[in-house]
Structure 1
Amino acid sequence: MARKFSMDRRAYLKTVGAAGTTAAVAGCLGNGGNGNGNGNGNGNGNGDGNGNGNGNGDGDDVIVPGTASGFPPFEYTQDGELVGFDVDLAEEAITRAGYEVGDWVDIEFDSLIPSLTGGDIDLVAAAMTITDERSEQIAFSNPYYEANQSVLVSSEGDFAPEGESDLEGRVVGAQSGTTGAAEAERLIEEGVVDGDDYRQYDNYTLAVEDLENGNVDAIIIDVPVANNFADSRSVEVAFVIETGEEYGLGMRQDDDRIGDINDALAEIREDGTYEDLVAEYFE
């Protein structure tokens, strides 16, 4: 099972990030609004709505990040604290870029882009796949993670699909607004899954609970998140749907600070910090 950062580790990363702000950045990343891929997915959140209309209201030196927890290991709550790969990566990037990390806003995935464009948050860090449709609304950083979709089933049942055709006549679920949902809708259009057999969820934690309880036969979900659930729940990955998605951090299209974030992401990769984060959360 993926290891989780301790508070000391996260404090260390912040210290490194602050020191690295003045370091030279090689290989600057280009603009991030031209991504491909097709929509990721990630959990809802127990958001407290404490964006308070911050956005740039606290000044350009503060970047208020937003996410949607319930999508481990990218973002989730542990002992009442918001943690995860995206959380640490975003905080590291913001700090190295020379800005202050504002209070995190944890809301449902579908609300992230409206909250960003409305100025309640300044940056989306939620395993959000770069797509043409989303790029018409927000600007993306350069990609920081690649993933595919997977079909998750109960490990205690007798349903073991080997391909998409095996989902015919089965109840399939996904989180609304995600790539998983897009893939489910594609299967409906292709006549593999009946529209009446499709279940949408606010977050994947609820979907997995329904899967374990036998209320749904399969869930379409990002591979790394599916593997995380399989490590701790009675579920397993049946097969993978190759989607070639790329995740990016999202910002408003008129926010010039995205260039600084891209530079910081490049530095994080170059000095080995990115590999440290991957090892902590995925290995």
Structure 2
Amino acid sequence: MTRRTQADVSRRTYLKLTGGTAAVGATGLAGCLGESGGSMTITPGTAPGFPPFEMREDGELVGFDVDLLEAVVAETDYELGEWATFDFDGLIPALTQNEEIDVIAAALTISEDRQETIAFSDPYWEANQAVLVREDGDFQPSGWADFEGTRVGAQSGTTGAAEVESNLVDEGIISEDSFSTYDSYVLAVEDLSNGNIDAVVVDTPVADTFTASRDVTVAFVEETGEQYGFGIRQNESELQSALNSGLQTVQDGGTFGELRDTWFGQE
């Protein structure tokens, strides 16, 4: 498999090939939903630092999620406004409390806890949790029981962080003080490479990106079987239906496969 770790086909290139257009920005105000007549603009939100799903490349917001949502919305009656970016754990508050955005595209795992607050589109990706360690390091665990006396990191608000809490902290294998959370996995992996922590727990697709570009390796994978979906506010049934329909069209028409090959490589 050939994996593109530095997004060698940029979002701008993809949009040029498909004839699409989009505006990318750091902040935005949520669009007007549910109004009859005319186009309806929705504001998307994401959290860069989770390659290859969302990241900054030469100052531009790019990634699989960025391209996918733009392709999906292009198949609906909605228009996509400027992208707004946040720390990952600020996305749901931006959607539900401040209503700064209308949809989250950020490799967001569909979970029961999150479904108490927001709704989701149909799933578009499956993932597990990988444990990253230094490639040449002494710590090479084969399971959670091997973590006693270690320091572990994960991005705040992620399922990786939840796995650390449930499997290590709650079980008394490591202390709360030995668990570090970060605004992005890029920072967590930097700390791992620098020897400040011993392991990082992160989604498998992102782990693969880091192993291809950093001196880290996957020690083992925890089979969580999680699924990603676009996050929206509850009771936005029209938007939810439109996203699901657009996603199905993108999958059936081959665009999804093209984007997958662009960002994750192909056999």
Please give the TM-score of this superposition, normalised by the length of structure 2. Answer: 0.89
Picking from 170, 187, 192, the partner of 2:150 is 170
Query: Residue 62 of structure 2 aligns with which residue?
Result: 83
Residues 33 and 42 of structure 2 are in contact (CA less than 8 Å); yes or no, is this contact kept in structure 1? no
- Residue 137 of structure 1: CA displacement? 1.0
In angstroms, what is the RMSD of aligned CA positions?
1.8
Query: Residue 277 of structure 1 aligns with which residue?
Result: 259
Query: Residue 79 of structure 2 aligns with which residue?
Result: 100
Query: Residue 223 of structure 1 aligns with which residue?
Result: 204
Distance 2:105 2:32 in 1: 17
How do residues 1-283 of structure 1 correspond to structure 2 at under 5 angstroms? 1-2=3-4, 3-6=7-10, 7-15=12-20, 48=26, 50-51=27-28, 53-56=29-32, 61-117=40-96, 118-186=98-166, 187-255=168-236, 256-283=238-265
Q: Structure 2, unaligned stretches of length 5 or more?
A: none
Identity, in percent, stands at 50
Residues 120 and 231 of structure 2 are in contact (CA less than 8 Å); yes or no, is this contact kept in structure 1? yes
Distance 1:265 1:14 in 2: 18
Change (3 A) 1:111 1:55: farther
Q: Structure 1, unaligned stretches of length 5 or more?
A: 18-46
Residues 14 and 95 of structure 1 are in contact (CA less than 8 Å); yes or no, is this contact kept in structure 2? no
Distance 1:241 1:213 in 2: 24
Distance 2:206 2:13 in 1: 25
Distance 1:110 1:242 in 2: 23
- Residue 9 of structure 1: CA displacement? 2.1
Distance 2:19 2:129 in 1: 32
Residues 66 and 122 of structure 1 are in contact (CA less than 8 Å); yes or no, is this contact kept in structure 2? yes
Distance 2:99 2:86 in 1: 14
For the residue of structure 2 that corresponds to 1:162, the secondary structure is coil
Please give the TM-score of this superposition, normalised by the length of structure 1. Answer: 0.84
Q: Which runs of 4+ in 1 moved over 3 A?
A: 57-60
